[in-house]
Chain A
Amino acid sequence: MRTILVIDDERPTLQMFELYLGAYGYRVLTAASGEEGLAVFDAANPPIVLTDIKMPGMDGLAVLKAIKERRPETEVVVITGHGDTELALAALGLRATDFIDKPIRREALEAALKRADARLDMAETTVGRYGDVAIGREGDVGVIHIRASLVGETEPYLTRAYRELDDASKVLFQFNPSASINGAGLDLLLSLVESSLAAGRPAALCGLSDNFGRVLDRLGVTAKAPRFVEKEQALAHLAGR
């Protein structure tokens, strides 16, 4: 099993994390501050890091930045206060791969861990993960399938795929359930959706986790391109347009 580093200034929370993640079979490392967390990270090099954002001294965002500088492929999941989407966006802007709300719901934590594991699994097996964008067609709908995470580096591949579907009258952005979108990826998605609408081509999203869905809601992307869980629902919606 993988090793997880948990950074939180709350000792009781750390204690619970240790038991809880241990029960899932992870090897758990804990740190009560950002500085300590970074030291543990340097020593153990864990693939997954869970960090609280609000901490005295070095806060979660600083830890995130430092870790991403050291090893960009680390899965850093930030823990934000409930409903604090701004902070989540800030973390995503700093290339956090996911976020969960505090108090931590079991399902959310499990899902986040599952997605992180899936992304790690994919990264270990797939080469050129940023470029893993496929295109397909469902009638007049052009489907852009983003199989890995949507990040800044995905841009050339995504724009190319988008141009290749120039003749399609509708666009569906299909994500893997484990896909992560960081700040740059969100901007990219927003600009593509906007240009699609500007060209008179309705757009829709499917397959994203609820977590990112919320962020997209916040940014106003889903108002332009409705989000669906299943591909079929999205296609049905687009067919009606």
Chain B
Amino acid sequence: MAVVLFVSAVIALLARWILVTSLNRELEQRGVAIGQSIAERASGYILDKDRANLVSLAFDAAQLGERKVLVSYIFIQDNEGRVLANTFIRPFPGDLIKANSLPEGKEYSVRLVDFDDNQAIDIAVPIREGIYTLGAAHVGLSKNHIDSLVGTLRTTFLGFIAAVTVVMFLIVLRLSNAVARPLSKLTQAADAISRGSLDAPEAMLGLSDDAIRHCQAYANTDLPCWHFDQHRVEAEGAGLPMARTCRECRFYRKDGGGDEVAQLAESFSNMIWSIRLYRRRLRESEEKYRSLFDSNPDPVFVVDTADGCILDANSQAETVYGYARRELTGRFVGDLEPDAGSGGVAAYLNDREAPGRVLFPKLRHVRKDGSPLYVNLHACRIAYRGRDAVIISATDITELVEKDAQLIQASKMKTLGEMSAGIAHELNQPLNAIKMGSDYLHLLAESGQTPPPDALAAVTAQVSAQVDRAADIIGHLRDFGRKSEPMLENVDINTPIRGVFTIIGNELALQGIEVALHLADGLPPIQAHANRLEQVFFNLVVNARDAMSEEQCPKGMARPHRISIASRRVAAGVEISVADTGCGIADVSRHKIFEPFFTTKQAGRGMGLGLAITYGIVKDYGGNIEVESVPGQGSVFRLTFPAAALQAGQGA
């Protein structure tokens, strides 16, 4: 607006200047013309020295028509500057004589002169006769008249300009109503959108809410919007199911009518619709994931990769770990896993080489009150609010671990039951010797005899030795039956292998089974529970024994019944093989052998849990168990365990 006014003013001033200048020039030209006509006629009178005619000429010229207002005076000078004739009715003002002397050869000269408190524009024109200059005719144009002319002109012009300006202003006002208001509305709407409000712009732009009610794609985010998702279809080709789209959108408008501003407004409202649809989808998606986060039955944490602090946690995390959310956020994730060492999340955060998704099986975590819980941890690298983070889902498997432990315990108890015959036999041997030795002494004592010194020595030594032997067996049984502590211990793999044979070695020998142990010395320890490993080897040995029994191998060929157990060091840790000379395992069975409740034994003879539990135990210690078998030739179970120091979290 200001620019419009300024430009108008500049134009007005310019026009005024042009007008005034041209008016002045026009008047000057008129003055020059008057002067020239006088000069032409005066030349004869000057030559004739006819002053009366000269005076009359001057007066005639001065009084002709309108000139008497314009021309203030006329006088004629000769070459010497003498005034030959003038129109002054008062004495001739002397100032004028020299005021505007005409330079030689010039056609006319114009100068502003003062006389008798008046101002005039004096125009001098030479009077020539042939090549001679006779004098000069001076025409004084009244400055007052000119000024009043200019003043009139100026007033008129300014009035006109003002009128134009007002008209222009009104036009601009109309234009601004037509263009600027919708534009400023759009601007306001855009501002409102950028502030996050979508309803305000709709109100501003007068959009109806009908579309929200009628748009299928708005209500159901699974439906593609033909307008909004068009580029997606183009990008993804015909793959996207387009079966259900609106033929015509009730909201999306493209009339093509109206001026540019109206079209802009239309596009703008379409854009708002798109944004609205998009926002709704985004919000719904966010809500969906937020609700997934919150309603997840497992505790979920978001951990900052840089400092290991918990950024966010769901409500289940509060419940399971016993911390309030504000206590969890900002807490170092390592606080939850005090004995994870290099196998926990804290270590994973620092390990840039680690894969993007990792499973940490059976980690021991602690609650706020210090009680332990066991979790399977899934860690996954994500970007969270512009930071590198790891999202951790911790499945509470405490109950599972406890059930596992109970199952293993139950299985050990069952094993103890199976061993009972062997145990009874093993315990009976020393008890028998002790009993007989003491009975012998008693017999002698009763009959008042003194035992011979060597017999006494033999009996006492034997009693002592046999008590130790029995105590060893009982101690071993107690160790075997003891519930394992959650913490793993370093175990020399040969110990549980030998342990098995302390209990059932004799029984195997009684059944005519030869046992060959090839145990390497100086094996690296493994992280495990000795008594659970004993359970493993017991299961394997008992299976081997059963595999060689008559009922398992009806053909009953005369082959040596031998169980060979060898331990040796391998690159990754230790390997143990348990081989038998039994009837082997059919291919069909071999694939199912580690499945629970799979058994080839007669009904009532086996639950089919032994090898399943064995498998579970071996896997628990990060080990592996495989079976090779040639039907009719025997089977070899090969177990490998990582050496203690190599134990760490496994990638998944």
Q: Which residues of A contact B (CB under 8 A)?
A: 10, 12-13, 15-17, 19-20, 23-24, 54-57, 59, 81-82, 102-106, 109
Contact = CB atoms under 8 A, between A and B. Distances in A.
B444 A54 contact: no
Contact of A82 (B424, B430, B443, B449): B424
Interface of B: 421, 424-425, 428-437, 439-440, 442-444, 449, 455, 458-459, 462, 465-466, 506, 509-510, 512
Contact of A23 (B428, B444, B512): B444
Contacts of A23: 440, 443-444, 449
A81 B425 contact: yes
A20 B440 contact: yes
Nearest to A80: B428
B456 to A, nearest CB: 10
Contact of A15 (B424, B439, B462): B462
Given A15-B458, A102-B428, A20 B433 contact: no
A59 B512 CA distance: 10
25 contacts: A12-B430, A12-B433, A12-B465, A12-B466, A13-B432, A13-B433, A13-B436, A16-B433, A16-B437, A16-B440, A19-B458, A24-B443, A54-B425, A55-B510, A56-B506, A56-B512, A57-B512, A81-B428, A82-B424, A102-B432, A103-B435, A103-B436, A104-B435, A104-B439, A106-B435
Given A16-B437, A54-B425, A102-B432, 13 more contacts: A12-B429, A13-B429, A15-B433, A16-B462, A23-B440, A23-B443, A24-B443, A56-B510, A59-B510, A103-B428, A103-B435, A104-B439, A106-B435
Contacts of B430: 12
Contacts of A106: 435, 439, 442-443
Nearest to A79: B432
Contacts of A109: 439
A105 B428 CA distance: 12
A13 B429 CA distance: 7
A54 B426 CA distance: 11
Contacts of A82: 424, 428
Contacts of A13: 429, 432-433, 436
A102 B444 CA distance: 22
Contacts of A81: 421, 424-425, 428
A12 B428 CA distance: 12
Contacts of B428: 81-82, 102-103
Contacts of A10: 429, 432-433
A19 B425 contact: no
A20 B340 CA distance: 62
A42 B439 CA distance: 30
Contacts of B432: 10, 13, 16, 102-104
A26 to B, nearest CB: 13
B462 A20 contact: no
A17 B436 contact: yes
A103 B431 contact: yes
Contacts of A103: 428, 431-432, 434-436
Q: Which of B433, B506, B510, B512 has the most CB of A within 10 A?
A: B433
Contacts of B436: 13, 16-17, 19-20, 103-104
B462 to A, nearest CB: 5
Contacts of B440: 16, 19-20, 23
B443 A20 contact: yes
B206 to A, nearest CB: 101
Nearest to A14: B433
A106 B435 CA distance: 8
Given A56-B512, A104-B435, A12 B443 contact: no
A10 B510 CA distance: 12
Contacts of B434: 103
Nearest to A23: B443
A19 B455 contact: yes
Contacts of B465: 12
Nearest to B421: A81
A28 to B, nearest CB: 12
B290 to A, nearest CB: 69
Contacts of A16: 432-433, 436-437, 440, 459, 462
Nearest to B431: A103
A20 B459 CA distance: 10
Nearest to B510: A54
A54 B424 CA distance: 12
A81 B506 CA distance: 14
A183 to B, nearest CB: 22
B582 to A, nearest CB: 19
Contacts of B449: 23
A2 B440 CA distance: 19
Q: Which of A16, A81, A102 has the most CB of B within 10 A?
A: A16
- The 4 A-B pairs at the shortest CB distance, nearest first, are namely A16-B436, A56-B509, A12-B433, A106-B439
Contact of B459 (A19, A59, A105): A19
A28 B431 CA distance: 21
A56 B509 CA distance: 5
B461 to A, nearest CB: 10
A74 B458 CA distance: 31
Q: Which of B428, B432, B434, B449 has the most CB of A within 10 A?
A: B432
Contacts of B437: 16, 19-20
B429 to A, nearest CB: 5
Nearest to B506: A56
A90 to B, nearest CB: 14
Contacts of B466: 12
B66 to A, nearest CB: 162
A122 to B, nearest CB: 26
B512 to A, nearest CB: 7
B60 to A, nearest CB: 174
Nearest to B513: A56
A81 B424 CA distance: 8
A113 to B, nearest CB: 12
A57 B511 CA distance: 8
A19 to B, nearest CB: 5
B103 to A, nearest CB: 159
A109 B435 CA distance: 12
Contacts of A104: 432, 435-436, 439
Contacts of A24: 443
A22 B435 CA distance: 16
Contacts of A12: 429-430, 433, 462, 465-466
B437 to A, nearest CB: 5
Contacts of A59: 510
Contacts of B421: 81
Contacts of A55: 510
A106 B512 CA distance: 31
Nearest to A57: B512
Contacts of B462: 12, 15-16
A190 B164 CA distance: 146
A105 B510 contact: no
A54 B434 CA distance: 19
Nearest to B442: A106
Contacts of A20: 436-437, 439-440, 443
A42 B297 CA distance: 79
